[in-house]
Structure 1
Amino acid sequence: MPLRPVHVNIKALDCPALGRFWAEALGWSAYQPGVTTYVGPPGGPVWPDPVALGIDFVPVPEPKTTTKNRVHLDLATTSAAHRTELVARLAARGATPADVGQGDVPWTVLADPEGNEFCVLEPRERYLDTGPIAAVVVDSVDPHRMAAFWGAALDWTLHEVTEDQAVLRSARGVGPYLEFLRRPGGKTVPDRVHLDLLPYAGDDGAAEVARLRELGAADLDLGQGDVPWTCLTDPEGHEFCVLPLL
């Protein structure tokens, strides 16, 4: 069976502090199961079947570069008043306006306290049932190519493929969308934000990794050494990890 996304993985200088910021942004809770900080719905991470696509903050010594992240989160709002309130609340907790060349748009682009860009969207019908995270958005040179790879890699449903975007969502119709949006230029620095994927119970993780390689994934050496997960890149160089079943 194909894999499922279980975390958005974000590298951080100060995991607890950034976790608190994002817990406030999403109305969720922050947990520290180890050296990482996990942000998810109340109740803590439910392993190996999380109830939501949470965020796992992993400590690194290097700060974010000035280069825009190629992966970011879009936050959902339910009304104009909700969007205004959320932007003001996050600004009070360290978010700053960000200019990524968006021009005059109805949503608000911000950066978290470590510089990771994200968007607070105006109310949109598509995202009324997603929860606080509307979408995980990935810059893409060729959305058709990403649709072919990720549509086969995941057990998520492919909702839309055009020249400008590819859109997937869990087959259960819950949680955020995964959106590949056409953007000029390719990858120039390591990703600060990536997805962590997990096999289902009873599936062969090594066989799943081999299948991903056949689909076009490549092995990635970040100096991770001997770890129980597998680091890969998709056909456009976006990093992701396949976690082991515990």
Structure 2
Amino acid sequence: MTSQLFAICFHTPRPPGLARFWSEVLGWEPGDGPGDDSAILVPGPAGFRIRFVPGDEPRTGPNRAHFDLTSGSPEDQERTVARALEAGGHHLDVGQLPEEGHVVLADPDGNEFCVIEAGNKFLADTGPGLIGALACDGTRAVGHFWSAALGWPLVWDQDEETAIQSPHGGIKITWGGPPVAPKTGTNRLYLELTLPAGADLAAETGRLIALGATRPGAGSGTGTGTGMGTGAGTGTGGSDDTHVFLLDPDGNEFSVRRPRR
């Protein structure tokens, strides 16, 4: 019984404001979040949400993950960009060339995202909704880890690049292969997994470690430490009998918890 993806989480000093931005851009309904969190609900059978968790992680460079939003037509792409700018986003120069069709933007916290041009075949079988992919900076090994961790099949595995997608469809999670930028602090974006009803947290933690995860501070090879294991500065608290924080093989933080009530 593998863990399920419960949420893609953003650390932010202002959860309601960032949730409002993404709700307006995506046209998705707000949902309840625990404590001081805010959330928006992903439509369709995917079943996860985007959570906005209190935290003051300093920006030390580009995020290791960002959303790729899809477009049905050039006019549709223009409308998504305009909606994001009106909601508080801004254009971002990451060295893209003028002839490239995608538009690079940042949300009010500076988190990067792309609005992909119409006709992108790789994202054609995603949705419903605008998010086609969570595009990550990562190795081939970490793509294989997450495929096994979530039970999502690999839909791309070529030239060190990997991608997975739920058997039910929906967004893809992709990894661009080496070189992977050095990790200098806690990621602003992280995955939150939840256990199926009746599953044992300790057993699932052991399974994930056997696949290649590590505990914070245990030496992950690429990770440089994280406040998530101790609750320092993340607003998520330390591991206990309801949840545990781990690092994937590339040193990215993620959490596993018992089902929320």
TM-score by length of 2: 0.84
Distance between the aligned counterparts of 2:239 and 2:57, measured in 1?
Answer: 24
Which structure 2 residues correspond to residues 1-246 of structure 1 after superposition, within 5 A?
Answer: 1-33=1-33, 34-41=35-42, 51-60=46-55, 62=56, 64-104=58-98, 105-123=100-118, 124-128=120-124, 129-131=126-128, 132-140=130-138, 142-143=139-140, 145-172=141-168, 174-184=169-179, 185-220=181-216, 221-223=229-231, 224-225=237-238, 227=240, 228-246=242-260
2:23 is paired with a residue whose SS is helix
Residues 20-57 of structure 1 deviation map (CA, whole Å, 9 limit, x = unaligned): 000011110223443100111579xxxxxx85332000
Aligned mates of 1:7, 1:133 — CA distance in 2:
14
Q: Deviations over 1:109-164 (max 9, x none)?
A: 11100111111111223434412211111101x22x12331121111111111224
Q: Distance in 2 between matches of 1:81 and 1:112?
A: 21
Shift of residue 226 of structure 1? 5.1
2:210 aligned counterpart, secondary structure: helix
C-alpha distance in 1 between matches for 2:26 and 2:144: 31
Tell whether the 8 Å contact from 2:192 to 2:255 is kept in structure 1 after alignment. Answer: yes
CA contact (8 A) 1:87 1:120 kept: yes
Instruction: Compute the displacement of 1:203 (Å).
Output: 2.3
Range moving further from structure 2, 215-224 or 227-236: 215-224
The one-letter code sitting in structure 1 at the alignment partner of 2:258 is P
- TM-score by length of structure 1 reads 0.88
SS at match of 2:137: strand
Question: CA deviation digits over 1:76-123, x for unaligned, max 9?
Answer: 111111000110111111111112333342111111001111111112
Q: Distance in 1 between matches of 2:135 and 2:76?
A: 22
Following superposition, the deviation at residue 200 of structure 1 comes to 1.7
After superposition, the Cα gap between the structure-2 partners of 1:92 and 1:130, relative to the gap in structure 1 and judged at 3 Å, is: same
User: Counterparts of 2:58 and 2:30 in 1: how far apart (Å)?
Assistant: 22
**Aligned residue for 1:46?**
none
Aligned-pair identity in percent equals 35
Size of the aligned set, in residue pairs, is 236
Tell me if the contact between 2:42 and 2:50 (Cα under 8 Å) persists in the aligned partners.
no
User: What RMSD in Å do the two structures reach over aligned CA positions?
Assistant: 2.0
Give, in whole Å, the separation in 2 of the partners of 1:198 and 1:112: 27
Corresponding residue number in structure 1 for 2:224: none
SS of the aligned residue for 2:135 comes to: strand
User: Hey, what's the Cα distance between the residues in 2 that align with 1:92 and 1:154?
Assistant: 36
Cα–Cα, structure 1 residues 71 and 200, in superposed 2: closer, same or farther, change >3 Å?
A: same
Question: What secondary structure does 1:134 align onto?
Answer: strand
